[in-house]
Amino acid sequence: MSHAIDPYRISEEPFYQPQADEIELYEAAYAERLPVMIKGPTGCGKSRFVEYMAWRLGRPLITVACNEDMTASDLVGRYLLDAGGTRWLDGPLTTAARIGAICYLDEIVEARQDTTVVIHPLTDHRRQLPLDKKGELVHAHPDFQLVISYNPGYQSLMKDLKQSTKQRFAGMDFDYAPPPVEAGILVRETGIDEETAMKLVKIGATARNLKGHGLDEGISTRLLVYAAQLIKRGIKPNAACRMALVRPITDDMDIRITLDHAIDVVFGQA
Amino acid sequence: MQPTPPAPSSSLKPQTSSLVDLYRPQLTCNFGQLEDVFPDCIAEAVALLSPQGVKDYLDGASLICRIGRGFEPVLIYLEEMPQVASQLGEGTLELVSRTVWRLSRGTNGKAIPHFLQTIAEAARRLGSEESLERYVDLMMGLANRTSTSIHGNQNATFPSPGLPLFLDQVPFLLSQLSLEGLKNWVEYGIHNYNGHPERQKDYFGLQSADSRAILQRERRGTLFMDRERQLDLYMKALWETKTQYVPYSEGWDELRKPVPYYDHLGIRVPDVYDDIRAPLSNSPPDSGGKGKRLPAGEILVSGIDRYRALLAHIAAHRRWSEPLIADNFSPFQRVAIETFEDSRVEWLAMAQYPGLRRIWLALHPRPGEEDCDPERESCIRHRLAMFSRALLDPNHGYRNADLLEFAAKFHELMQSKDNSTKAVAGLAVSYIARTRRQADLSPNVYFTDTLIDYRDDNRHLWRYIEEGDEEERFDEERKLPPEEKETDRLPPRHYPEWDYQTKTYRPDWVSLYESLHPAGDPMRIDALLSKHEQLTKRLKQVMDLLKPQHFVRVRYQEEGSELDLDVALRSLIDLRAGSQPDPRINMSHRNDGRDIAVMLLLDLSQSLREIPEGCTQTLLELSQEAVALMAWAVDQLGDEFAIAGFSSNSRHEVRYQHIKGYSERWDDRVKARLAAMEAGYSTRMGAALRHAAHYLKTRKADKKLLLVLTDGEPSDIDASDPRLLIHDAHKAVQELDQQGIYTYCINLDPNADDYVKEIFGHQYTVIDRVERLPEKLPRLFMSLTR
Ligand SMILES: Nc1ncnc2c1ncn2[C@@H]1O[C@H](COP(=O)(O)OP(=O)(O)OP(=O)(O)O)[C@@H](O)[C@H]1O
Ligand SMILES: [Mg+2]
């Protein structure tokens, strides 16, 4: 059974703006092949970071977006029926373990806990993956690494990870970048001018001040990028911001009115 | 698992009865019904009022008792006034009782209960003692002016026909009108229908067409109370602060028109702002030149933007102004410094929010350069208002050389490194020296177009040395809870405490005493629940979705306990037909039971006795309601559930009160304990968390949730470094996490963000609108466990 590595390779350097020493820390964790857990609010650059690290380390990257309906077979693999009988197909986790890729399980808390436990034997010193149905024990490739991410802002007891799962990972905390850095990201990502970028970031900050006061999440860097893209296309800043920054995050009228006003005073027109 | 709690201590009963013994003699009143309500009323009064306030309260009630109108007025007074007085000020106690007395002396005695019924709502809408007084004056004016005889007999033998009807409409009227609007509406009614009792009744009962029309006419503008939440959010989002507000009315002719200001009680704001509209034609054209004239009547600045303009100005002062010593400057220098400082903080604010310029500019007067004659009148205000205009308006068009020079200096200074209050004060002083005129001292001061009414009066800017220390004294009296007996307690448990400075635990540092919470009347809790009947209905719908449907069939499984025939057949057909069959031909059953153990830990410290701004109940009462609702909900869901309260009195005495155990049902015994919930002492949170965890840990459930309901940061009398208890609480949360317990904090302190995050990480909510806690708590629980 052979697997092509190439489709999983990242050929071009993704743009990633470091915030602190996260690159160095990740490299050290990778050198030891420690599984890594990345925590942070939505749209703050977690996925982008992993992509960048895979490129930097020259490893293929296999990303799985987790969801509630995902079963263990979706990760590990399954038998398919075909005219000739049955045929085994590796799941993404198994593939990654075989070819020595970095396997990134995005939003792992979304998966049911009985699904999550299949990663356990891969995350301790054994570095193995038993394929019970196939009767095979896969020994992970020496370059294989597991990375998971989740958003601790989702406050649900039911969606928290089990202690026994958490305790298998080295953890990294991510957050939205400080204002000038975040503005720099917008400039690089969209080609928007610096001044407009700073204004968008300022609006982001006002919304983040309301977190816990009627907003579950502030405005993410991702949404700021969207707003910048719309402005770049020639949409008026105020309209672009309303559309990309305010409407998606809340239906609370008082908060909308407040954020709309923030947009007006930051862009200085109304 | 559960320790057998000791027999309920009966410390509560003697307490209340001793209050009755102490205070009942001070109330001269002999209605039989009084004895039933007195204990509750006096307990509330003592909890909320100062000793003098309690005395005024009892005197007021005695006075009302004497008017000979039965028990009803006394009852309303006793029940409503503690809340009103604790929110608006204790002066209201006498205000209301004397008003009742005055009404009883005239012909309008029948209106007394109607009047008293309006007090609670009027207090809530009006928000300050001063405004309540205005309302009372207005009401008395109406009473007096409409009760003179209809036949020209000056002895006032006939009561006002409109007064009782008016009073019944007051709650509605106040929800529609500012105090000034109400005054105008009343004036119109008195003026036009004084001689027609029937038509007067129609007017004040809101029955006649013109009555409604005048209401509509007066209903312009933006009422502060209707926008308070939006303005709270505004301050939070754009200025990262949270304050109290004290609304005032502008509708009374006074020597000095009231202006906004702020001090330690909060920000004084007008109770209403009208929209500002473009003037009707034939007004002078825009002197700034490039003005395209707006159509007449178009809104230039909306009421809400006027509030924002005011709050932004004040927020800017609070962020950037530093006080100066008043004694070092002459009065002229001071007014100049104030103007320059206003412009300075606005400049800094506009650097962040350029759009503020449009709003401020639209509200700023535009004094004409030649309007004031410096030979004959004092032009000092005029000069400064022009200067201020020039700094805000790039197209100001003024040509005065000094003004232009100093405006340039101002901008230069603002761009420089030292642009402090002090620096700009220096500039102001030299401006005043340069532009001094003989007539400045003239009593004939030019005022037109010099009042900048979105700005506060700058009282915060000055410190006085001479008149002794102006320091505010916060020596509020501590009302200590009565002593509790030391009996009926289990031996203490000892818990460590984390010392963040040495990064070590202090072993067995805290002694925790667990006891059974005393019991009260369980009916009170049932009454609270029935009060929220609508809410419980809505919650029930949500809960039905959460309820475990124990056996759920899960289809489309590759492996499962049974073959799913439908799917299997379809797959077989696909296979025969040579296409890729779906391999998920099995089904299984899943036991979808919720397996959750919950512990609700209540902070019962002293601060819970406060009535938060905008509420009519104490935090304690709100918590009681909320806990009752949540307990009811959890009981319906069938999750394992326990409740406990805690408070502390130094590390030697952390009290942990058992309210509901896991093995107890949600029944009268538990409700009785909840009904007797009391607040006192401090908040040593770490030990309480650890103790709660010690119960939760032994539960078998899959998921363990510890909910902490608190209204402030950890503190205790023997902890001088507040960081210590915050760090310890955080450490405790980490320990709990290790034990598989998910801790979540519901915080009622609007300023909690800083410390609550430090303790609970992301696992918290701050409830800004505390009055909605009863609704929020059960919902929060459900969303946490969804
Ligand atoms: N440090 C960064 N460098 C470059 N781009 C960034 C950075 N942080 C955020 N971005 C931008 O924000 C967008 C969203 O980031 P990303 O998809 O990595 O978020 P995420 O944290 O994975 O969010 P989610 O939790 O919703 O999956 C990216 O597409 C990128 O444009
Ligand atoms: Mg992502």
Q: Please say whether the beta carbons of B410 and B388 come within 8 A.
A: no
Element (H, E) at A242: none
Q: Express each pLDDT in B705-739 by its tens digit.
A: 999 998 888 888 888 888 899 999 999 999 998 88
- Parallel, antiparallel or unpaired: strands A36-39 and A170-173: parallel
In chain A, the number of structural domains is 2
Do A186 and A166 belong together in one domain? no
- C-alpha B132/C-alpha B115 separation (Å) is 12
Q: Report which ligand 1 atom has the smallest distance to the Cα of A189.
A: 31
Q: Express each pLDDT in B9-41 by its tens digit.
A: 434 344 567 888 899 999 999 898 899 899 989
Q: Which long-range contacts (CB under 8 A, 24 or more apart) does B322-328 make?
A: B322/B420, B322/B421, B322/B422, B323/B460, B323/B461, B323/B462, B323/B463, B324/B421, B324/B422, B324/B425, B324/B461, B324/B462, B324/B463, B325/B462, B325/B463, B325/B464, B325/B465, B326/B462, B326/B463, B326/B464, B327/B464, B327/B465, B327/B466
Last residue in a domain, options A128, A147, A173: A173
Do A128 and A148 belong together in one domain? yes
Q: Sort out which chain B residues have CB atoms less than 8 A from A153's CB and list them.
A: 762
Q: Please say whether the beta carbons of A202 and B352 come within 8 A.
A: yes
Please tell me which residue, A97 or B591, carries the higher pLDDT value: A97
Q: Is the ipTM of this complex over 0.85?
A: no
- C-alpha B277/C-alpha B181 separation (Å) is 19
A85 and chain B in contact, CB less than 8 A: no
Last residue in a domain, options A157, A173, A189: A173
Chain B CA closest to residue A162: B740
Q: For residue A106, report the distance from its CA to the centre of ligand 2, in Å.
A: 6
Three-class SS state of B324 = strand
A206 and chain B in contact, CB less than 8 A: yes
Q: Which of B734, B768, B242 is nearest to A166 (CA)?
A: B734
Residue ranges for chain A with pLDDT beneath 50: 1, 270
Taken in order A247, A251, A252, A257, the sign of the CA dihedral is: positive
Do A115 and A216 belong together in one domain? no
Q: For residue B632, report the distance from its CA to the centre of ligand 1, in Å.
A: 43
A82 and chain B in contact, CB less than 8 A: yes
- Is A1 contained in some domain? no
Please tell me which residue, A162 or B681, carries the higher pLDDT value: B681
- Parallel, antiparallel or unpaired: strands B640-648 and B596-603: parallel
Q: Sort out which chain B residues have CB atoms less than 8 A from A160's CB and list them.
A: 742
Find the mean pLDDT for residues B213-219. 82
Q: Please say whether the beta carbons of B648 and B689 come within 8 A.
A: no
Closest ligand to residue A201's CA: 1
Q: Sort out which chain A residues have CB atoms less than 8 A from B753's CB and list them.
A: 212
Please tell me which residue, B15 or B598, carries the higher pLDDT value: B598
Task: Say yes or no for a CB contact (<8 Å) between A81 and B238.
Answer: no
Query: Which of B353, B703, B764 shows the shortest C-beta gap to A265?
Result: B353
Please tell me the predicted confidence (pLDDT) of residue B485: 37
A213 and chain B in contact, CB less than 8 A: yes
The residue behind tokens 């296309």 is A233
Please tell me the predicted confidence (pLDDT) of residue B279: 66
Q: Is B292 left (phi over 0), alpha (psi -120 to 50) or beta?
A: beta
Q: Sort out which chain A residues have CB atoms less than 8 A from B764's CB and list them.
A: 212
Our separate counts of H helices and E strands in chain B read 27, 20
B234 and chain A in contact, CB less than 8 A: yes
- C-alpha A167/C-alpha A169 separation (Å) is 6
Q: Express each pLDDT in B38-52 by its tens digit.
A: 998 998 899 889 999
Ligand 1 environment, Cβ below 6 A: A 15-17, 40, 42-48, 106, 151, 177, 185, 189, 221-222, 225
Hey, which residues 57-76 in chain A have their CB within 8 Å of chain B? Answer: 71, 73
Q: Which of B721, B720, B656 is nearest to B685 (CA)?
A: B656
Please tell me the predicted confidence (pLDDT) of residue B778: 82
Residue B131 has pLDDT above 60, yes or no: yes
Q: Helices B331-352 and B401-415 sit at what angle, rounded to 10 degrees?
A: 50
B240 and chain A in contact, CB less than 8 A: yes
Do A155 and A189 belong together in one domain? no
- Is A80 contained in some domain? yes
Please tell me the predicted confidence (pLDDT) of residue A205: 95
DSSP A116-154: HGGGHHHHSTT-EEEETTTTEEEEPPTT-EEEEEE-TTS
Q: For residue A166, report the distance from its CA to the centre of ligand 2, in Å.
A: 19
Three-class SS state of B719 = coil
Residue B365 has pLDDT above 60, yes or no: yes
B705 and chain A in contact, CB less than 8 A: yes
Beta carbon pairs, A and B, within 8 Å: 108
Question: In angstroms, what separates the C-alpha of B154 from chain A's closest C-alpha?
Answer: 54
- Give CATH superfamily name and number for B522-545+595-785: von Willebrand factor, type A domain (3.40.50.410)
Side chain identity, residue A179: P
Cβ-based burial of B564 (10 A; exposed 0-12, middle 13-18, buried ≥19): buried
- C-alpha B315/C-alpha B455 separation (Å) is 11
State the number of CA atoms in the 13 A half-sphere of B257 facing the CB. 8
- Parallel, antiparallel or unpaired: strands B276-277 and B299-301: antiparallel
The pLDDT mean for chain B works out to 84
Residue B270 has pLDDT above 80, yes or no: yes
Find the mean pLDDT for residues B176-188. 90
Residue A205: CB atoms within 10 A of its CB come to 20
Q: Report which ligand 1 atom has the smallest distance to the Cα of A221.
A: 12
Do A40 and A163 belong together in one domain? yes
Do A45 and A122 belong together in one domain? yes
Q: Express each pLDDT in B527-585 by its tens digit.
A: 888 888 777 777 777 767 666 555 567 777 777 767 788 888 888 887 777 777 777 88
Please tell me the predicted confidence (pLDDT) of residue B472: 38
Query: Which of A83, A254, A264 shows the shortest C-beta gap to B229?
Result: A254
CB-based contacts of A73, cutoff 8 Å, min separation 6: A91, B558
Do A153 and A64 belong together in one domain? yes
Chain A CA closest to residue B734: A163
- C-alpha A135/C-alpha A130 separation (Å) is 8
The residue behind tokens 């701050």 is B766
Question: In angstroms, what separates the C-alpha of A268 from chain B's closest C-alpha?
Answer: 3
Q: Express each pLDDT in A55-104 by its tens digit.
A: 999 999 999 998 877 888 889 988 877 667 778 889 999 999 999 999 99
Please tell me the predicted confidence (pLDDT) of residue B483: 36
Q: Please say whether the beta carbons of B654 and B683 come within 8 A.
A: no
Length of chain B, in residues: 786
Do A29 and A106 belong together in one domain? yes
Chain A CA closest to residue B578: A83
Distances (CA, A) of B783 to B258, B433, B546, B744: 47, 66, 10, 12
Do A164 and A188 belong together in one domain? no
- C-alpha B608/C-alpha B48 separation (Å) is 11
Please tell me the predicted confidence (pLDDT) of residue B551: 54
Q: Which of B490, B523, B520, B481 is nearest to B677 (CA)?
A: B520
- Parallel, antiparallel or unpaired: strands A102-106 and A145-150: parallel
Q: Please say whether the beta carbons of A267 and A238 come within 8 A.
A: yes
B357 and chain A in contact, CB less than 8 A: yes
Cα end-to-end span (Å), chain A:
64
Q: Sort out which chain A residues have CB atoms less than 8 A from B352's CB and list them.
A: 202, 266
Task: Say yes or no for a CB contact (<8 Å) between A163 and B236.
Answer: no
Q: Sort out which chain A residues have CB atoms less than 8 A from B580's CB and list them.
A: 80-82
Split at pLDDT 50, 70, 90, the class of B341 is very high
Cβ-based burial of B274 (10 A; exposed 0-12, middle 13-18, buried ≥19): middle
Element (H, E) at B129: helix B129-146
Chain B CA closest to residue A158: B785
Q: For residue A29, report the distance from its CA to the centre of ligand 1, in Å.
A: 21
B591 and chain A in contact, CB less than 8 A: no
Residues of chain B with CATH 3.40.50.410: 522-545+595-785
Find the mean pLDDT for residues B219-237. 88
Residue B589 has pLDDT above 70, yes or no: no
DSSP A66-125: --TT--HHHHHEEEEEETTEEEEEE-HHHHHHHHTPEEEEETGGGS-HHHHGGGHHHHST
Q: Report which ligand 1 atom has the smallest distance to the Cα of A44.
A: 21
Residue B133 has pLDDT above 60, yes or no: yes
Chain B CA closest to residue A269: B355
Q: Express each pLDDT in A84-95 by its tens digit.
A: 777 888 999 999
Last residue in a domain, options A133, A149, A173: A173
- C-alpha B110/C-alpha B95 separation (Å) is 19
Please tell me which residue, B487 or B299, carries the higher pLDDT value: B299
Q: Sort out which chain B residues have CB atoms less than 8 A from A80's CB and list them.
A: 580, 583
Please tell me the predicted confidence (pLDDT) of residue B10: 39
Task: Record the pTM.
Answer: 0.68
- Domain extent, residue A215, equals 179-267
Tell me what percent of the residues of chain B surpass a pLDDT of 70: 88
Distances (CA, A) of B518 to B17, B523, B524, B671: 15, 15, 15, 11
Residue B135 has pLDDT above 90, yes or no: yes
A195 and chain B in contact, CB less than 8 A: no
Angle at A203 between CA A198 and CA A208, to 5 degrees: 120
Interface test with B, best of A134, A250, A258, A260 (most B CBs within 10 A): A258
Residue nearest to atom 13 of ligand 1 (CA): A222
Element (H, E) at B746: strand B741-747
The residue behind tokens 């100066």 is B324
Do A140 and A223 belong together in one domain? no
Q: Sort out which chain A residues have CB atoms less than 8 A from B392's CB and list them.
A: none
Q: For residue A165, report the distance from its CA to the centre of ligand 2, in Å.
A: 20
Please tell me the predicted confidence (pLDDT) of residue B414: 96
Cβ-based burial of B379 (10 A; exposed 0-12, middle 13-18, buried ≥19): buried
Q: Domain with A169 in it: what CATH number?
A: 3.40.50.300
Q: For residue B604, report the distance from its CA to the centre of ligand 1, in Å.
A: 43
Closest ligand to residue A49's CA: 1
- C-alpha B39/C-alpha A194 separation (Å) is 67
